[in-house]
Amino acid sequence: MKHIKIRSIAIRGAAMAWPLLLLTLAACATEGGQEAVYRGVQRSAETCKARQQPGAAPCANLPGYADYEVERKRARGVASPSLAQERVR
């Protein structure tokens, strides 16, 4: 009887996790969410550089978000005169 009870609790827990996962993914799809995720990865790279030991694998060298956004738009094929201005900011 205990085995069935534990399994049903696990199934209910997994069923409750899906809406939370979908909500999180939807938040990351927004413009502000994308920037937040990028800045988090950028902070991780900075932490890696600060803690890097001699002889260790090199840490990622990430550009600022404005430069990243310009490159991303260019890769998508979105060409606009404002891209050059965005890079200056």
Each residue's pLDDT, cut to its tens digit, for the chain (89 residues) gives 555 555 555 555 666 676 666 666 676 667 777 888 888 889 998 999 899 888 888 888 888 989 988 998 899 887 655 545 555 55
The rounded Cα 31 to chain-centroid distance in angstroms is 12
Residue 31 CB partners (closer than 8 Å, separation 6+): none
Structural domains in the chain (count): 1
From CA 9, how far away is CA 11, in angstroms rounded?
A: 5
Question: What does pTM read for this prediction?
Answer: 0.51
H-only helix segments in 1-89: 2-28, 31-51, 65-76, 82-88
The range of the structural domain enclosing residue 66 comes to: 2-88
